[in-house]
Amino acid sequence: MNRLVDMQEMLSQATTLDEVQDFIIDLRATYDLEHLVYHSVNSTGGQYAALTYDSDWVARYICEDYARIDPVVQGCYRLFHPIDWKALDWTSKATRAFLGEAADAGVGNQGFSVPIRGPSGQFALFSINHKCNDDTWARYTGERASDLLLISHYLNEKALQIEGASTRAPTRSLSPREKDTLTLLATGASRANIAETLQISESTLRVYIEGARLKLGASNTTHAVAVALSHGLIVV
C-alpha cells in the first residue's frame, strides 16, 4: 500500500511525457517486473506510449505493424475489464510466430493488461509482464489487482493531462470514499479517527487521500481539502 502511495506521489510530480517514461522505469524496479507498457490512443488518433521494452523490439513491432496481430492489442481494445494474457487467444500461426519473437526480445511469458476507456473515445492499455510460473503469477496479479487498476488510471490521467487535457471530462470528480475522506479531514478529524469512522485501515485511507490529491492537482493534503472546499466538491 505504501509503495502505491509513493508511486502516486512520484507520478503526480511529472509534467512531461519523458518524466512519465522515467516513472515507468521506476515502477518496473519497484514492482520487480520484467516489463511495463502504457499505450494511449486519443479521440483524434494521436498515440503515445511509455514502455520498458528494448528499443530494437519496439522498432520491429512498429515496422511490422504487429499491433494488427498482437492478441493483447486485438483482444483488449474493445474490452474494459482487466485481463490475464492467458485468457487471450494465442492459437493462430501468425500469433505463435509473433510470440516466439517477443520471447526472444525479452518479453516475459506472463502478462496482465488493464484496458482503459476514457472520455470522448480515448482508449489506453496498461500492461505488465514477467517471467515466472502460472501459480506465482496468479498470486502476484491477484494480490495487486486493485493497485494495478489504480496505477493504470493514474497513468492515463497524467498522460492526458500532459497532452493538454482537451479530451478530459469537464470535472474530474472524486470517488465517494475520497469525498468522505476529505470531508472528514476538513472537519479536523485525525487520520486514526477517520479510518475508524470509515471502517478502513489507515493505509487504505492514505490511498484515498493521495487519490484525491492527485485528482485535484493539489500539492499536499491541506491543499487538497482547500481545493475540494472551494470547488464545492465537499460540503462541511
Partner 1 sequence: MIRYLYADQLGAYPKLHTGMLEDRAAQFHDRLKWDVTVDANGYERDQYDALNPLYVIWETPAGGHGGSMRFLPSTGRTMLNDFFSHLSDRVIFDERIWETTRFCVSPAAPDGARIAALLMLAGAQLGVGHGLTHAAGVFDARMIRIYRKLGWCPKVLGTQGRGQDAISAGLWTFDPDHLARLAAKAGVSTEAAAHWYARAFGHKQAQFAA
- List of residues contacting partner 1 (CB under 8 A): 78-91, 96, 99-100, 103, 109-111, 116-119, 134, 145-146, 149-150, 152-153, 169, 171-173, 175-177, 179
Q: What is the 3-state secondary structure (H, E, C) of the chain?
A: CHHHHHHHHHHHHCCCHHHHHHHHHHHHHHCCCCEEEEEEECCCCCEEEEECCCHHHHHHHHHCCHHHCCHHHHHHCCCCCCEEHHHCCCCCHHHHHHHHHHHHCCCCCEEEEEEEECHHHCEEEEEEEECCCHHHHHHHHHHHHHHHHHHHHHHHHHHHHHHCCCCCCCCCCCCHHHHHHHHHHHCCCCHHHHHHHHCCCHHHHHHHHHHHHHHHCCCCHHHHHHHHHHCCCCCC
AA letter at 123:
F
CB of 173 to partner 1, least distance (A): 4
Identity of the residue, 26 or 84, whose beta carbon is nearer to partner 1 in the bound complex: 84
Closest distance of CB 166 from partner 1, Å: 16
Residue 139 C-beta: closest distance to partner 1, Å: 14
Rounded to the nearest 10 degrees, the angle between the axes of helix 17-30 and helix 134-163 is 160
* CB of 44 vs partner 1, minimal distance in Å: 17
To partner 1, the closest distance from the beta carbon of 17 in angstroms equals 21
Q: Which is nearer to partner 1, 169 or 192 (CB)?
A: 169
Which of 149, 189 has the CB closer to partner 1? 149
- Of the pair 60, 153, the CB lying nearest partner 1 is at 153
Q: How far is CA 68 from the centre of its chain?
A: 23
The phi and psi torsions of 61 (rounded to 5 degrees) equal: -60, -45
Residue closer to partner 1, measured from CB, 25 or 87: 87
Closer of 23 and 98 to partner 1 (Cβ): 98
Shortest separation between residue 103's beta carbon and partner 1, angstroms: 5
